[in-house]
Amino acid sequence: MRICFLGSGAAEGSPAISCHCEHCDIARRKGGVLERKRGAVLFDLPDYKLLVDAPPDIRELLNSNGIKEISGIFLTHEHFDHVGGLKEFLYWNKQIDFFAEPEVFRRVAGKMLRQELNQVAFHFAFHPGVDIIFQDFSFTPFEVRHTVPCYGLIIYENSHRVVYAADTSNRLSNYSLTLIRDADVLILNTPFSQKRWIIHI
């Protein structure tokens, strides 16, 4: 699989609007790697391109990375920096799969967006710990700790195991720790970690 990090910044992005801290001012002046987009990752899997989250700048992220194909979107949680770009997909000219836990889907897709999304997307309700199996890979969603319901995923492909979790604290269930133990690649977004990030596995 190929993993493309479209964005890896914090919720407000960097430089943040109206922020004049030293970092934002330098990022505004110099740009380049100092500019950080909100978190989104594309997993390029056998016959399937899985986008994790749709931050508000998703249109620019896809265009600037030359991505013209997405098979499905996996939604981690309801916060604006992860779903603010969903409406961009109303202009997507192909069908798209939309993986979301039922409660997250209910919270994100208000009645109107739900009807609009139905035109372009198939909602696949996932449940933590229940595998979603494709021909040549599979993934398992698992619950992480955040201020709202939030899910990571473990992708299994060709004897490799890649774990991705957005916005998680370092408090994880024993079940989740078992699944991520000895992963080949562990990708974490840890804005809520108060202490050093140590996972005891």
Return residues touching Zn ion (CB under 5 A).
Answer: 16, 19, 21, 24, 79, 167
Which tokens sit at 44?
């390029």
CB nearer to Zn ion: pick between 26 and 185:
26
The least CB distance from residue 10 to Zn ion, in Å, is 10
CB nearer to Zn ion: pick between 36 and 59:
36
The least CB distance from residue 81 to Zn ion, in Å, is 7
CB 30 within 8 A of CB 54: no
Task: Return the H-helix or E-strand segment holding 112.
Answer: helix 111-120
The least CB distance from residue 89 to Zn ion, in Å, is 20
The least CB distance from residue 187 to Zn ion, in Å, is 16
Burial 135-174 (b: 16+ CB within 10 A, else e): eebebbbbbbebeeebbbbbbbbeeebbbbbbbbbbebee
CB nearer to Zn ion: pick between 45 and 58:
58
CB nearer to Zn ion: pick between 45 and 56:
56
Q: 157 - beta bridge partners? A: 160
Strand pairing class (132-133; 121-125): unpaired
CB neighbour list of residue 101: distance below 8 Å, 6 or more residues apart:
75, 125, 126, 127, 128, 141, 149, 151
The least CB distance from residue 16 to Zn ion, in Å, is 5
CB nearer to Zn ion: pick between 21 and 177:
21
Angle at 50 between CA 49 and CA 52, to 5 degrees: 150
